[in-house]
Amino acid sequence: MDGLTRVDQALIVLAVLQAAVFCLFWFDKIQARNGDWRVRERTLLLAALFGGIGAWLAQHLLRHKTRKEPFRTLLGAAVAVHLILVAAGVWWGLK
């Protein structure tokens, strides 16, 4: 990644993580429709810590696990933790 600043690199990593988590949720949705092997909820929630916006978008755009509790609440918490970590990273990077 020559020629890119640390901010550029961080944004690229964040975008890739968001896309990867969205795809993981999408894969699970397809598997659910087909009645095939599913991704564990624990794995989806852990992934949401790294790509919270991607997870939130997937849940809402794909209508995946929108009514399932406590997953819905735990996903909201994971997204909040993700956003706090990103904000802390930005704050730390600006120091």
CA distance 24 to 11: 20
Phi-psi region of 5 (alpha: psi -120 to 50; beta: other; left: phi over 0): beta
CA distance 95 to 84: 17
pTM more than 0.85:
yes
pLDDT in tens, the chain (95 residues): 578 888 889 899 999 999 999 999 999 999 999 999 999 999 999 999 999 999 999 999 999 888 889 999 999 999 999 999 999 988 887 66
Angstrom CA distances, 89 to 7, 74, 79, 81, 92, stand at 10, 22, 15, 12, 5
